[in-house]
Each structure stands twice: as C-alpha cells, then as structure tokens.
Chains A and B, each alone.
Chain A
Amino acid sequence: MIIASNYTDLIETQRIVVDFPKQGGNGLWVHGLAGSGKTTALVARMLALIKEGVRPDQILVLVSDRSQRETFEQALAHSTWFINGSVTITTFYGLCQRAVALFWPLVSGSAGFKHPELEPTFMNVESTQYHMARILQPLVQENGYFADITIRRERLLSQLIDNLNKSALVGFAPQEIASRLISAWAGSEHRYASYQQAQDCAMRFRAYCLAHSLLDLSLTTQLFVELIYPSRAYKTYLAEHVRHLIADNIEETVPVASDYIAWLQPLCASSVLAEDEGGGYRIFLGADRQAARNLGERCSQELRMDSLPGINPDILTLANRVCSVMHLPQANISAVGDARRAVLGQRSERYWVGMIRWIANEIAHLVEAGCAPGEIAVVAPYVSEVMRFALEEELHERGIGQYLLRPATPLRDDVIVRAGLTLARLAHPTWASSEAVLRTLPVEDLAEMLGVMLANLDPVRARLLAESALPQGNMALTDLSGQVQATAAQAGMLWQRLGFQLRERYEALRTWLADYAGREQQPLDIFLSQIFGELLTLPGYGFYLRADLAHSYSRLVESALKFRLAGSAGAGSGGFSVADDPGAIYTAFVLNGLASAEYIEDRLDEALDAVILAPAFAYLTRGLRSRYQFWCDLRVDGWWNRPNQPLTQPYVLSRAWQTGRIWYDADEDQARREGLGRVLIGLAARCSGGIFLVSSELGINGEEQSGRLERILQNALLYSQNNNPI
C-alpha cells in the first residue's frame, strides 16, 4: 500500500479522517471500495495523533489479520522522525488472548475450570484439532457417530471446531448449535442425528478444555466477551491503556468484535472505523458485514471515500457488469470505464496444462516488457499441489519465480516435515506398536528421507539405498557397514554402485539413530533439534549450510513443541496419559493429514519479487494488490460453490439469521451469487493494470467443466461491446 508521508500528499477525504476531532468521544465511520485510500487515511490519523502528543500506547489499532498489522507497523517504522512509544496494533483475537492471559485469575474460578489454580494453555490450530480428534475417535468407532456423512476426517474435525468458534464469535450459547442447524435444515430428518452428534462433540470438547485448562479460540473469546471486558478491573485497565480507537476493515470482524467496539467507543476520546464496501470475505470464519455496518451507522459522523486513487475504473466496470448480469448489487463507483479495456488477454485451452503454459507465456511477455514478477498475480478458486508445481515449473523455465500463498498448509505436504518424521520413527522403534499409521515404513518414505537428509543423493540412488536399508522386523535401519555377515555381500555391491563415501554418512546416521533409541527418550521437538545439530547440519548431510531448508524443519520443531505443551497441560489428569508418547501421537496425527497450520513465516515476502499464485480468498484477505491479475480456471465450479460443509452452516450460525427460518436452495443460490460478486469486485478493486481471463475445457483430471463463470464474463463483455445498457 502507499503510505502518505505528508499531510499534503493526502486527498481531501483522507484529510477529513486525519482532522476528525480527537476529543469528545466522537466516532467517524469511513467507507469505500478497496483502494479508495481508507487505510492510508487511518495510518495518517494514527501518526497525527502521536504527533499531537497522544501517548502511543493509548492508541488501539484493531486490524483483521497479521498482514494488515504489518501495514500499520511499517507506517510507524517509516516515521522515526517523531514517533516515541509503541502503538497497540492487534487483531481482535490477539486482544482476547492477551487479556485472558493477564486477567486469568478473574475468570479461572468462575468459568468452570476444574483446576482454576493452573495457568491456561492456549492451543494453536493443530492442538485444537488433535484434542477434538481424540474426543471424536471413540465416538466414531464405538458409537457410530457421523456414519451417514461421507467426508474426510480433517474436514469433519474442522467443522466441529468451527461450530464452537461460531458460537463464541457470533455470541450464542454453544448448547444451541444443533437446534439452530436443525431448525434451518430443509432436507431429510436423517441429518438431525448428525447435528446432535456434532453438538455432543462440541460439549464434550468444551468439558475437556475446562477440565484441563486448555483454551481454544472459542473458549478464549467467550471468556473475554462474557467475563473479562464487562469486569471493572478491565475497564480500569482500559482507562490507562486505550484513549483512541482506530479499526480497519470492520466488515471482516465478527459480531462479538463489533459489540466490543461499540462498547469501547464511548470510553475513548475518539474512534474511527473503516469499512471496505463489498468486503466481508471471511463470512466462513464468522465475519458479519451487517453487524459491522450497524456499528458504522451508530457513529456520529459518516464519510464515504468515493475518489478512487488506486482503482482502475475499466476493471471495476467489468466486475459491475458481471454483477448486473447476475442481478446483484454493483460497486458504487463514480467513474464508469470501458469493461473491454479491462481484459488484456483471454484464452480457453482444451487441456488444463495448456492453460498453465499459456499463463506462463503471457507472464513472460509482461516481464519482458518491464513488469516486475511481484506485480503479477494468478488467482484461482483453489490451488492444488499439482497446480503449484506445474506453474512453478513453467515459470522456472522462463526464469521467473513463483510465490504460493495459501491460507493453510497441511504439514504432511511438506517433504522436509515428512522426512523429519521418518527419522523420528526410526529413532523410536516402540512407536510402531502405538498407532496404525506408524506400523510399517514404506520404502518410498524411507527413500524420500534419505534423499533429504543425505546431501547430494538423487532420487534413483536414494531409492536403491532405501531398498537395502529398509528396516526388517524392528523399526531400525539395516546395518550396511559390511560387518554383519548376513548383509555383507549385499552391502558391498550396494556401495560399489552408490559410492563408498555415502556408506560413511549412512552408517553415521544409522548408528546415531540406534544410539538414540537406546538412550532415555527426549520429547520429539528436542529429538529433532538434537539430530539437527549433531548430525544433519554437518558436512555431507542435508542441512549442511542450507539456511534455506531450515524454515520447514524449524516449523516442524515449533509445531511439535506447541503440541507437546498443549497436550501435557492435562498430563496425569487427562491430556496425554503417562503411557502416551506425545511424539508418537503427534507424528501419527500429522501423517494422517489431520494437522495444518499457518505460521507467521508463511507471510508474503515482498523482497522475493515473484509471481503470486493464490486462491481468491487468500488473495483478498491478505490485502494484496497487483498490476496484472490472471483469473484462471474460470470453468471450475469452485468459483461458484462454497465448500461442502454438512455439519456446519455459516449463514445459519450467523447473527443475522432468523431463528425458525429454513435455508432453501434459493438461499443457497443467492448466497453463492453474492459471494461470487463480492470476490470479483474485490479482485477488480485490487488490480491497477488489467486482467487476463483463462480457462480450460477439461479439468486437471481430464473431466469436462461447465464454464458458468466464463459464460457470465463473456456475456458481460458482450453487453459492453454492444454498448447495451444493463
């Protein structure tokens, strides 16, 4: 984003935001399209407040995610000439978590925790999923829960967790989950049982958390909302800590956050709230545009930012035409452009790979013409591993880098994570009897690990080595030193083919693991750190001087540590039992594909100057902007359909939903069209140069694709060509 360094660089409406009174408890509601300069105005106001002598730590900036926080932090960073002090820039959940940790003694007794004397343990995504899985497993196996639902286990878990989150973020009792879902369900009554089972899982999970002082997102939020911020102690604390409120992207906030802002406003000397018209992409995460709009309307003043310094009217006009074709509300823009000028290229290929190749060629032309790769984005409804790989290869051939932005990366998808866990399995032979997925070690997994951990070992040689090294009987690498009679002949031939240098390294790895297996066992995260330091970073091994590879490995270590800490919170009285090895449980959990998490390191590194590949949702919610966008896979249903969520329903579990109403197909259709309209307007508002429309008749697996969005886009362009009023 552009940060105006100077008051004079601001446009008129932005100056109004900066000059808005800083005393007297007034609230200003600023709204406009993405790119209309709202955030720039908020940043300028923050800096102006400090310049005028406000204590920086008494300014609270509420943002919708970490990437937005960075925008404000960058602004502070670039203003060293007068900034003294630290502004509190946080997400609503960050605020909740910090407050719960601090005010814990106020709530631990009254909230029903079995051990109020213990400190709370905040769970990350993986730990929450794990503990829910632990509750779910016997219910599925012994009680036949969710037998009628065909869905992958990780999706089942995330929906069960999502229900609890919705109750906390929307502000209804968790006991109401099933009744809300049932009352809106238009299909067969068979589904009722699944909803009741989802309810049961939610309550069991909550009881489990209360028994073990574990705090997931839902419990943390509920504690803050119901017990902490209404308390006198918190109000006293606030009086010292918050005098001015700045909230950006309120349309992405959840209803209880809107309530909090409404409660906080009169306690502040000033407040400015900004809303991105057409936003509200996080509806699946509980965002409520209407609650945010109500909040805005209660402010003493309103300001619409209607000048569009960062917006290309041609592209927005195209998005508006699409909305018009779909009978949806359009973006409110003053200048109407020419939709045809927005489209710089269009292509429909027969095959999916042809589409990828065409995109890569067009990108290469843009780069040749002087466009930086980082100014180009390829946006699809979702991005598979195959797509990431295929485009990356094509771009790589053309000397261009690619940066994948995904909302969450399953840990299992990372080759270094898998290799690290294979090592862990070899060092802990007893794990093989604990979890089904740990019972056998496929030769492919072993070959992959050897290829990662031993330097300069290509896949073919790694496979050869793995075939000989594969554990026989117990989970330990085969001794290929040549000193064991049974394997001596085989080893001799093997090393002749692979090179004797490799023998030394392999044997050092094998003996390190065997020694470790004979010692007192350490937690998994410590094991991973130890072998990393004592072997893997030495000459001849995979991480020797490889700073670039350490990110993934570090992510694994950190994740295993957090998992252990969350699990051991209830050790002895629940959590992991004494017999459990958290390392084995964690390893099985990751290998079963149940763990996914987002880490700070996943943030876009602008210095990379690479083409961004992103699902539309991730692109829109990270506040990205590009000069050129490729809207690709236009025939894929994902542009239309929301994910199949048989156990939850974001619209029904929202605050706006009227109890007793039924969710019909017409509601679903309307919701889909509105969602698509929002996405296209959002993308259009974030593109300054032009867009490329790309599709393929056959999908990634060779299936015919319907092309509904593509047809609508063609219609919209046709109308523009005929100059047909819509």
Chain B
Amino acid sequence: MSAAANHLPAGFQLSQHSLSTYQRCKRRFWLRYVQRQPWPMAEGEQPLEYQQHLQRGVIFHRWLERAQLGLPVDLQVNATDDPLLQSWWSAWKSFDYALLPHEVLLSEYPLTIGLGAYRLYARYDLIALQREGRAVIVDWKTLQAVPSLKTLRTRLQTRIYCYMLACAGNILTQGAPVAPERIEMCYWFANEPEATVYIPYSRANLEDDRVLLTELAEEIAGAPEEAFTKTERQEYCITCAYRTLCERAGTSGSPRAAEWLDEDVDFALDLERTPAVDW
C-alpha cells in the first residue's frame, strides 16, 4: 500500500457510503467526505418529504434498537400517526428471528478496520452470530424500491460489511475469527418484507473484496485533487445537493434520488449520536 497522498490524512475514515459515492461520483466523494463542504441545497425534489423520510428512518432504527434490548416500545409505536412508520413496524414484527443465530446479538454496532493507510468504518444494524456457527448481518432497509438480487450481491455495502466481519469478527467471538463461509448478509425491506434476501459470503468473495477495497483505497490515496472529477452519469446529479456547485443544475433524465437517500439516512443515524450541546 502506498502512503496516502497528502490531501487525505493517514487514518482517514472511509465507509461503505463514502466508497459507494466514490464509485458513483468522485467529485461528490471529495466534496462531501474530504472537504466536508456544506452546500445547503435540498437533496431531493420534495425537500420536506425528504426530511420526513430521513426522520422516519432514524425513529425506525431507534425503535428496533430498543426492541433488540428488550425495552418496551409499544407505547411509542402505537401512538405514531405516521402510517408508513406503522406499516414498517408491523412488517418488522413478522421478521423471523428464529432464522438467526443468537449467541451474540449486537444492534447498531460500530466496527472499524484498517484499510491500507486508511480506516474503514461500518455501523451494523444487527449482527447475529454463533461463536462456532453462522454469522448473519442484518440490514433494515427503508428504501422505496427493492433492488435486484444481482444489485444487492455486488453492492459495495454487501461486500464491505461481510469483508469487515471476516477481518474483525474475532473481537466479537473473543477469539476465533469468523470464517467467510459462515457469513451471510440479510437485507430486509420495510416496504416489502417478503423480499428479504440472504446473501452468502465465501473465501473467494473475501479475496476479491480484499483486492477491490485495497485497490480503491490505493487509488484514492494516490489521486491528486484534480482526479476527483465529476461523474459522467449525469442522472446522479439531478438530485445531488452539489448540482449548482458543479454547474450541473440543468441536467435532465430520470433521477437516482434513492441512492443518496440511503446514504443520508445513514448519515442522520450517525449524526444522532453527536449531541448538539457540547458538555
């Protein structure tokens, strides 16, 4: 691994979202994750709805975390007047936990591993594992549309989450590493729970992902600022908050808002862990 180019400090934190962004648009990666450039333009076409969706995602994840801890949640759940949130919740109630291993169950679990000169971070919605058996990563998705199985298999999130668990799972088992063959990624969709998929992982996947992620990190490390160019796939620009900064405001086509929404829900969840008051 080459040393990081001087614009990105050693130890810089990458994540599945920042790397997915990098794959889709290097410029957005640069602006959002390196420069942390605020550009307060609405991300979606319906900003109020977009905000409500973000908020809904945060509350839903909070409820799940509480339920996971065995806290009573019915009072708050029954009181919501948000039909979508209600339907997500009743959908989740039929999720079959019996299909999961249950020796170790960790919700909203943050994990970081080294990736060359950088760090790779992920916050898992749920990790369920048996010390010597299966290890299932569950991701509660509140996306409107369910991606195809092929998309999910090749999705950077699948690759990174499984890879990281294979690399660092020993800290959860307190000893034995989690062999890649034991790992599965489960995507559950709040809007279509019957579309739940389990994607197995393997040693070959692990090796492929190691190469991919290492190459990505090296590419980022070696790239000068000018290499963080605007995407050629302008459909991403339609709902991107930076579209005026990039002078892509007039782009037409079919928007890919869902891509950024997923990223923003995750952002909001991490932000929720940062209190507004410094004490």
Contact = CB atoms under 8 A, between A and B. Distances in A.
Contact of B37 (A83, A532, A550): A550
A29 to B, nearest CB: 23
Contacts of A628: none
Contacts of B171: 53, 55-56, 84-85
A91 B119 contact: no
Contact of A83 (B66, B78, B112, B249): B112
Interface string A555-577: 10110011000000000000000
B99 interface: no
B163 to A, nearest CB: 12
A421 to B, nearest CB: 14
Contacts of B148: none
Contacts of B118: 80
B189 to A, nearest CB: 23
A279 B182 CA distance: 52
A537 B276 contact: no
A324 interface: no
B38 A554 contact: yes
28 contacts: A65-B279, A77-B9, A78-B10, A79-B11, A82-B114, A84-B113, A84-B114, A91-B275, A94-B275, A97-B275, A103-B71, A104-B66, A109-B75, A117-B78, A119-B76, A217-B277, A522-B48, A526-B48, A529-B42, A530-B47, A533-B41, A533-B42, A537-B41, A537-B249, A547-B37, A550-B37, A550-B39, A550-B40
B70 interface: yes
Contact of A80 (B11, B110, B273): B11
A122 B279 contact: no
B245 interface: yes
A137 interface: no
A103 B66 CA distance: 7
Given A98-B273, A217-B277, A529-B47, A57 B110 contact: yes
Contact of A77 (B11, B59, B69, B274): B11
Contacts of A92: 279
B66 A105 contact: yes
B278 A85 contact: no
A82 B277 CA distance: 33
Interface in A532-563: 532-533, 537-538, 544-545, 547, 550-551, 553-555, 557-558, 561-562
A538 B121 contact: no
Contacts of B79: 115, 117-118
B42 A538 contact: no
A417 interface: no
A124 interface: yes
A147 interface: no
Nearest to B172: A55
Contacts of B69: 102, 233, 237
Contact of A86 (B9, B41, B110, B277): B110
Contacts of B117: 80
Interface in A383-407: none
Contacts of A124: 276-277
Contacts of A115: 79
Nearest to B277: A217
Q: On chain A, which size bracket covers the interface?
A: 35 or more
Interface in A447-502: none
Interface in A67-100: 74, 76-86, 91-94, 97-98
Contacts of B35: 547
B42 A57 contact: no
Interface string A218-254: 0000000000000001000100000000000000001
Interface string B42-65: 100001100100000001001001
A49 B172 CA distance: 15
B66 to A, nearest CB: 6
Given A102-B69, A106-B71, A94 B279 contact: yes
A116 interface: yes
B88 interface: no
Contact of A122 (B119, B121, B275): B275
Interface of B: 9-13, 35, 37-42, 47-48, 51, 59, 62, 65-66, 69-73, 75-76, 78-79, 109-119, 121, 167-168, 170-172, 174, 243-245, 247, 249, 272-279
A108 B109 CA distance: 25
**A-side interface mostly:** helix
A84 B76 contact: no
A726 interface: no
B276 A86 contact: no
B167 A65 contact: no
Which of B48, B51, B73, B278 has the largest count of A CB atoms less than 10 A from its CB?
A: B278
Contact of A93 (B70, B109, B114, B275): B275
Given A545-B245, A550-B40, A600-B274, A104 B111 contact: no
A57 B109 contact: yes
A557 B40 contact: yes
B36 to A, nearest CB: 8
Given A522-B47, A532-B40, 20 more contacts: A55-B171, A55-B174, A56-B171, A78-B11, A81-B114, A84-B171, A85-B112, A86-B112, A92-B279, A98-B273, A105-B75, A109-B75, A124-B277, A125-B277, A526-B47, A529-B40, A530-B47, A533-B41, A554-B38, A562-B276
Contact of A217 (B11, B110, B273, B279): B279
A473 B65 CA distance: 55
B8 to A, nearest CB: 11
A101 interface: yes
A223 to B, nearest CB: 14
A211 B35 CA distance: 41
Nearest to A77: B11
Nearest to B243: A533
A545 B244 CA distance: 8
A445 interface: no
Contacts of B109: 57
B141 to A, nearest CB: 21
Contacts of B244: 533, 537-538, 544
A66 interface: yes
A94 B70 contact: no
A261 interface: no
Given A55-B171, A81-B114, A84-B167, A93 B40 contact: no
User: What 4 A-B pairs come out closest when comparing CB atoms?
Assistant: A77-B11, A93-B279, A117-B79, A554-B38
A65 B247 CA distance: 39
Contacts of A550: 37-40
A538 B40 contact: no
Nearest to B246: A545
Given A78-B10, A118-B76, A538-B249, A532 B279 contact: no
